[in-house]
Amino acid sequence: MTPIPWTDFTRQIDELYGPGLRAPRTRQQMAKVLKDVEQLGVETTAGLTPGLVARFITTKSATVNARTVHGQLLRLQAACNLAESLGALEVNPFKVRRMRQWIRPGKPAVKTHHTREEVRRVLEMMACDVRERQGWAQWKARRLLALTTLICMTGARRDEGCFAWVDDLDLEARVFWIRERVGHRLKTEESEQPVPLPAAAVAPLKEWLEHRLDRPDGFMIPESIPWLFPNIRLSGAWYGGQHGARPLERLQSVARRVGVDGMTWQSLRRSLGCHLESHGLGQALITRCLRHTNERTTREFYRASDIPNLVQAVESFEY
């Protein structure tokens, strides 16, 4: 066994998680776990011992829930497996004890979702902003309404909506094609699928397409603008931006104005998973619409009981 200095080892892992190889979020999560391990005093890969794993779990369990610790352990396990394959680790702690012996993931935490009335109020406020504003402010309001409509009506993930191209949207067939683009990696292989588009989403999306390239006279418009939701300079997808102008910040600003707190792109995706059942879709179809790998993910993370839906379902029942 030849231990590798921790700095060199983390650099090797970072190369394996670079752009195009793993999702940016996955790379960030792995980097955080490796940084936390370093703070426990590990100097070389020889420090990846069962005792180190036990201390990692004890330290983390004091601040985060068991499911989060379990996810971080999966990344630490991947690092230990790599060190073992490189001949830099004599005893892999995850072969001494299996993952479930180290920690049980526990039940998933209750996830936020919004009632249909709450989502409707947010969309109506966005539509009101479009009618009342002019110029750049109106263009930005249209873009926000169209992006929110697309995500809340299809259950697309944030990046799938923000990085979409115009060619991905077929309003005539009422289909939104989720495709992997250069520089944007999808979460899973199952993510790259067509998603049905409800009829209610067609009008706001069609209006946005008509105004997507609105610019003042004299503005130099680039020859190729493939993004469905471009930034204000038309030079890329609307993803980041200055503080207060990012997609999530704009969404939450409107939501707070109508009394809806905690709205995110992910909570809109969960909301669709909760409401499709009351609309008559079964478990398998909901899983297909959300493009999950299995029905268990849909059931545990995206199927909360929405009281208004349940009340409406039994409204006409009587003996």
pLDDT (tens digit per residue) in 46-71: 999 999 999 999 998 888 888 888 88
Q: How confident is the model at residue 77 (pLDDT cuts 50, 70, 90)?
A: very high
Q: Which stretch of 93-107, 114-128, 149-163 has the lowest confidence by average pLDDT? A: 93-107
Q: What is the pLDDT of residue 111?
A: 67
pLDDT in tens, 271-293: 998 888 877 788 888 888 888 88
Q: Report the C-alpha gap between 1 and 72 in whole angstroms.
A: 26
Q: In terms of residue numbers, what domain contains 264?
A: 116-311
Residues 43 and 120 in one domain: no
Residues 153 and 263 in one domain: yes
Residues 307 and 161 in one domain: yes
pLDDT in tens, 201-217: 999 999 999 999 998 87
pLDDT of residue 192 exceeding 80, the answer is: yes
Q: Quick one: three-class SS letters along the chain? A: CCCCEHHHHHHHHHHHCCCCCCCHHHHHHHHHHHHHHHHCCCCEHHHCCHHHHHHHHHHHHCCCCHHHHHHHHHHHHHHHHHHHHCCCCCCCHHHHCCHHHHCCCCCCCCCCCCCHHHHHHHHHHHHHHHHHCCHHHHHHHHHHHHHHHHHHHHCCCHHHHHCCEHHHEECCCCEEECCCECCECCCCHHHCCEEECCHHHHHHHHHHHHHCCCCCCCCCCCCCCCECCECCCCCCECCCCCCCCCHHHHHHHHHHHCCCCCCCHHHHHHHHHHHHHHCCCCHHHHHHHHCCCCHHHHHHHCCCCCHHHHHHHCCCCCC
pLDDT of residue 266 exceeding 70, the answer is: yes
Residues 130 and 259 in one domain: yes
Q: What is the pLDDT of residue 280?
A: 78
pLDDT of residue 149 exceeding 70, the answer is: yes
pLDDT of residue 32 exceeding 90, the answer is: yes
Is 253 a member of any domain? yes
Residues 170 and 287 in one domain: yes
Q: In the predicted model, what is the mean pLDDT of residues 249-268?
A: 95
Residues 191 and 260 in one domain: yes
Q: How confident is the model at residue 109 (pLDDT cuts 50, 70, 90)?
A: low
> How many domains, the chain?
2
